[in-house]
């Protein structure tokens, strides 16, 4: 292969998009960070809105949904995947990394690494599935065995965000209940263990004393993504393509809800995710 051909291939690899997925609008908190820290990257954002919330589903369902999404993402020729969903990270990341031959980044480890530098009494608010998995506790204690960790499952938060009830008094009431056990433990740091929750930050900040620090793992998974891109030599040095927004449910609903966080109404495509029999996975992972 000539030098010129090698350069062309490298440029093509760099230009390929990063795939980002979540069950809904939560992953926009990760997308926002991608825009801030990696403005040259093209992105395909997929929200599996037809099947949200993920946080009350079983590990088997989460694994199956994420396999279908990743196979679809591979068909779109993404160069890497960012799981903008803690629940998928907690329940499926290690299996997905074994099954698919592309870099897959999760929020929990980068979030835990940063949180232990911030405090020693750490509260985690997360979906019921993430909280029950103990993924944050394990990640934190592996890095800092002396840290203390309390995890609270918050089943009502995702539906409230997806219904755009951010400033509904009921949301404040529910938040008070979820935060009470963490306040009782005198946490010094609160980790957003679900990407939907930073959308509730005005409410949450109001309810917690000012000395409590907030950690948003989105910031840190994107820093890890930048490092990974440099490591594999695929950071895009060309101009990015506009983000492709895709959903499995209703495009209009997603577009309308996202406006407040994106600052523009996105054009949203409805896509059909492949339903995958387990036996066919091998051929996809070897692509
Ligand atoms: N935003 C996702 C997370 O970080 C999923 C929330 C859900 O669908 O329950 O866990």
| Centroid of ligand 1 to alpha carbon of 6 (angstroms) | 40
Instruction: Kindly state whether residues 114 and 60 are assigned to the same domain.
Output: no
Cis peptide before 53 (omega within 30 of 0): yes
Instruction: Kindly state whether residues 130 and 209 are assigned to the same domain.
Output: yes
98-128 pLDDT, tens digit per residue, is 999 999 999 999 999 999 999 999 999 999 9
Decide: 88 and 62 in contact? Cβ < 8 Å.
Answer: yes
| Centroid of ligand 1 to alpha carbon of 14 (angstroms) | 29
Instruction: Kindly state whether residues 24 and 96 are assigned to the same domain.
Output: yes
CATH number assigned to the domain comprising residue 36: 3.40.50.1860
| Centroid of ligand 1 to alpha carbon of 106 (angstroms) | 13
Quick check: is 281 in a domain?
A: no
Dihedral angle computed from the Cα positions of residues 171, 177, 183 and 189, in that order, rounded to the nearest 10 degrees: -50
H-type helices in the chain, by residue range? Answer: 3-15, 28-37, 59-75, 86-99, 108-118, 128-133, 135-143, 157-162, 169-184, 201-207, 217-231, 251-262, 281-285
- Residue ending a domain, among 194, 217, 240, is 217
Quick check: is 279 in a domain?
A: no
Instruction: Kindly state whether residues 90 and 114 are assigned to the same domain.
Output: no
Instruction: Please choose from 20, 22, 136, 198 the residue to mutate so as to test ligand 1's pocket, defined by most ligand atoms within 8 A of CB.
Output: 22
Q: Could you list the residue range(s) of the whole structural domain that residue 36 is in?
A: 3-106+220-272
Instruction: Kindly state whether residues 93 and 227 are assigned to the same domain.
Output: yes
- Identify whether 250 is a catalytic site residue: no
- Report the alpha-carbon distance of residue 47 to residue 55 in Å, rounded: 14
Task: Look at ligand 1, atom 2, and give the residue with the nearest C-alpha.
Answer: 85
Decide: 248 and 47 in contact? Cβ < 8 Å.
Answer: yes
Domain count for the chain: 2
Instruction: Kindly state whether residues 112 and 204 are assigned to the same domain.
Output: yes
Quick check: is 280 in a domain?
A: no
- Report the alpha-carbon distance of residue 273 to residue 73 in Å, rounded: 10
The distance from CA 50 to its chain's CA centroid, rounded to whole angstroms, is 17
Task: Look at ligand 1, atom 9, and give the residue with the nearest C-alpha.
Answer: 55
pLDDT at 53 over 80: yes
Residue 39 — pLDDT band, cuts 50, 70, 90? very high
- Identify whether 246 is a catalytic site residue: no
178-204 pLDDT, tens digit per residue, is 999 999 999 999 999 999 999 999 999
Give the number of the atom of ligand 1 that is nearest the alpha carbon of residue 107: 4
Quick check: is 22 in a domain?
A: yes
Confidence (pTM): 0.95
pLDDT at 65 over 60: yes
Instruction: Kindly state whether residues 129 and 195 are assigned to the same domain.
Output: yes
**Whole-number mean pLDDT of the chain?**
95
């Amino acid at each position: 292969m000539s030098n010129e051909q090698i350069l062309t291939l490298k440029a093509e690899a760099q230009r390929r998009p990063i795939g980002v997925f979540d069950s809904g609008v939560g992953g926009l908190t990760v997308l926002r960070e991608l825009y801030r820290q990696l403005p040259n990257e093209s992105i395909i954002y997929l929200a599996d809105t037809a099947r949200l919330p993920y946080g009350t589903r079983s590990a088997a369902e989460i694994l199956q949904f994420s396999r279908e999404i990743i196979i679809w993402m591979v068909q779109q020729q993404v160069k890497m995947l960012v799981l903008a969903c803690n629940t998928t990270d907690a329940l499926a990341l290690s299996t997905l990394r074994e099954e698919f031959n592309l870099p897959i980044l999760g929020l929990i480890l980068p979030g835990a690494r940063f949180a232990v530098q911030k405090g020693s009494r750490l509260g985690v608010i997360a979906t019921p599935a993430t909280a029950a998995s103990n993924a944050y506790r394990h990640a934190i204690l592996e890095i800092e065995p002396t840290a203390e960790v309390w995890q609270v499952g918050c089943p009502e938060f995702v539906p409230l965000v997806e219904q755009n009830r951010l400033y509904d008094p009921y949301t404040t009431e529910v938040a008070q209940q979820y935060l009470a056990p963490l306040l009782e433990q005198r946490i010094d740091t609160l980790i957003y263990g679900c990407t939907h929750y930073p959308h509730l930050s005005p409410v949450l900040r109001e309810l917690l004393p000012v000395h409590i620090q907030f950690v948003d793992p989105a910031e840190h998974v994107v820093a890890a993504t930048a490092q990974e891109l440099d490591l594999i030599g695929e950071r895009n040095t060309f101009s990015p393509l506009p983000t492709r927004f895709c959903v499995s449910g209703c495009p209009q609903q997603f577009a309308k809800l996202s406006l407040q966080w994106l600052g523009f109404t996105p054009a949203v495509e409805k896509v059909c995710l492949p339903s995958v029999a387990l036996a066919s996975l091998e051929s996809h992972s070897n692509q």
